[in-house]
Structure 1
Amino acid sequence: MLLAVDIGNTNIVLGFLDGDHKEQMRGTYRITTKANHTSDEYGLMITEFLAMSGYSPSDVQDVIIVSVVPKVMHSFRASIVKFLGIDPMIVGPGIKTGINVVMDNPKTMGADCLADCVGAYFTYGGPALVADFGTATTFNYVDSKGSIRSGLITTGIRTAAAALWNETAQLPEVEITRPKSILAKNTKDAMQAGLYYNFLGGIERTIRQFQQEIDGEFRVIATGGLGRMFKDDTDLIDVYDPDLIFKGLASIYARNTR
């Protein structure tokens, strides 16, 4: 079994992948990203999650990690070495991905975005616009030959919401959810409706701008925990795949099997 790990700004997500080509998702688990977790704390959580999926540490053949939080990496990597006896594969410079990054400085592209694009291209083909709705919202365009040609980065809806209630004196913290109606009659509903529809409109406008400036059709592949809210409210998203990054990590791992 391959343990694939996505270390993001909000959550660390573990994916257990099995099968001949590590294509079968056996379970996913989330840990809140905290820089002050020790390697022992991470190790305990990992072994508990393994047990919940019917595995033991000895069942883990290898580990691959993609991270955008450098300050977490020391403790987390140490936990893998200590509890699983494996030096994990890290997605970064020198790793074979099967796709090209045709940008001004390819090294500055986020490793999570790269893994998303690999998952989208080798699962659904290209050209594709890959949208990841997380702490930040990213859009990356992959052409028919598997080259990442452009990208866009903006705030995620939860990040925007936090700015709203942290920077205003009287607005409360509210749950990020799809509202029943835009016709809000109280502060909570007004905030939820405003956040949701403003963000949904931004998604659609962004996709349409890509459509205007790209010569040819493409599919829009969405992922990220927050993408689930929007997939049924717009016909501009063709596919929503919550496991996209793990499919990308499995593909990358296959090209770099040790």
Structure 2
Amino acid sequence: MLLAVDVGNTNTVIGAYEGRRLVEHFRLETHPHRTSDEWGLLCHQALRHHGVDPARIEAVAVSSVVPPMQHALERMSARYFGCKPLFIGPGVKTGMPILYDNPREVGADRIVNAVAAYERWPGALIVVDFGTATTFDVVTAKGEYLGGAITPGISISVEALSRNASKLPRVDLDRPDRAIGRNTVSSMQSGIVFGYGALVDGLCARLARELGGPRPTVVATGGLAPLLAGVSDAIDEVDEFLTLDGLRIIFDRN
């Protein structure tokens, strides 16, 4: 079995694959100061809780945007799973040409998402990942990673709003009934949820115009993808575990 580890700035999503099938998945808070033993014990406990024998894990693949965690994850893989992990980065065969000015600048998660989306929906694509940052990644019809856009994520925007505006509370990210809020909470929810939906629609339209050709398929991923897909006209497909699947695909290619 393969353990796919997607390390984000806020959360780390981990999935256990048997062949092409995602058997189980779980989410841990990203904590760069955890030791390799802490990560190993947490993974073993979570796997057992979900009915997966940790001894069946034979390989580990990692996509990480938190460089300080690499050493701990390397030691965790060696000590608790008896293998050397595959970290997505320069020198790893992805099967996708990277047309960025400096390919080393592209986050591993963005490449992994693009690879997974193109494998499932071959053709021109825009992949929107709702994480700590909201990223937009453009893939050409020929399967080339072209570039994209990065905006502040929804959660950190909400935190900044409530932290810097003393009269505004922190609100739950729920879809309001209407855009015209009749109280502070519903007004904030309108601005956040409908506002981000409009941001997605507007930016996807601009990216599609620059890309040219037929309209690209827009794929959303990340924990908040289902919420935003409900208010965005641009989003065609939702796959919350796109990054994990991309890790599996790239591991197979290597």
Q: Normalized against structure 2, the TM-score is what?
A: 0.95
Partner residue in 2 for 1:242: 240
Deviation, 1:76, is 2.8
Partner residue in 2 for 1:82: 79
Partner residue in 2 for 1:169: 166
- Which residue of the other structure, out of 149, 153, 156, is the alignment partner of 1:152? 149
Residues 1:185 and 2:179 are matched in the alignment: no
**Which sections of structure 2, spanning at least 5 residues, go unmatched?**
none
CA contact (8 A) 1:119 1:247 kept: yes
| Larger displacement relative to structure 2 (69-78 or 160-169) | 69-78
Q: CA–CA distance in 2 between the matches of 1:150 and 1:39?
A: 34
- Calculate percent identity across the aligned residue pairs: 38
Q: CA–CA distance in 2 between the matches of 1:190 and 1:219?
A: 31
Partner residue in 2 for 1:7: 7
* Structure 2 counterpart SS, 1:107: helix
Residues 1:196 and 2:193 are matched in the alignment: yes
Q: What amino acid maps onto 2:112 in structure 1?
A: A
Residues 1:17 and 2:41 are matched in the alignment: no
Count of aligned pairs between the two proteins: 253
Q: C-alpha root-mean-square deviation of aligned residues, in Å? A: 1.3
Alignment of 1:215-226 (within 5 A): 215-217=212-214, 218-226=216-224
Q: What amino acid maps onto 2:34 in structure 1?
A: H
Q: Deviations over 1:148-177 (max 9, x none)?
A: 112111111111111101112222222222
Partner residue in 2 for 1:36: 33
- Which residue of the other structure, out of 204, 207, 210, is the alignment partner of 1:210? 207
Q: Deviations over 1:197-244 (max 9, x none)?
A: 111111110011122222212111111111110112233111111111
Residues 1:118 and 2:138 are matched in the alignment: no
CA contact (8 A) 1:4 1:17 kept: yes
Q: Deviations over 1:113-136 (max 9, x none)?
A: 000000011111121111111111
Q: Deviations over 1:92-141 (max 9, x none)?
A: 11100000001111110010000000001111112111111111111111
Partner residue in 1 for 2:104: 107
Q: CA–CA distance in 1 between the matches of 2:161 and 2:225?
A: 20
Partner residue in 2 for 1:253: 251
Partner residue in 1 for 2:56: 59
Deviation, 1:87, is 1.6
Q: CA–CA distance in 2 between the matches of 1:182 and 1:141?
A: 30
Q: CA–CA distance in 2 between the matches of 1:213 and 1:153?
A: 16
**Which sections of structure 1, spanning at least 5 residues, go unmatched?**
none
Q: CA–CA distance in 1 between the matches of 2:176 and 2:35?
A: 39
Q: What amino acid maps onto 1:109 in structure 2?
A: V
Q: CA–CA distance in 2 between the matches of 1:12 and 1:160?
A: 20
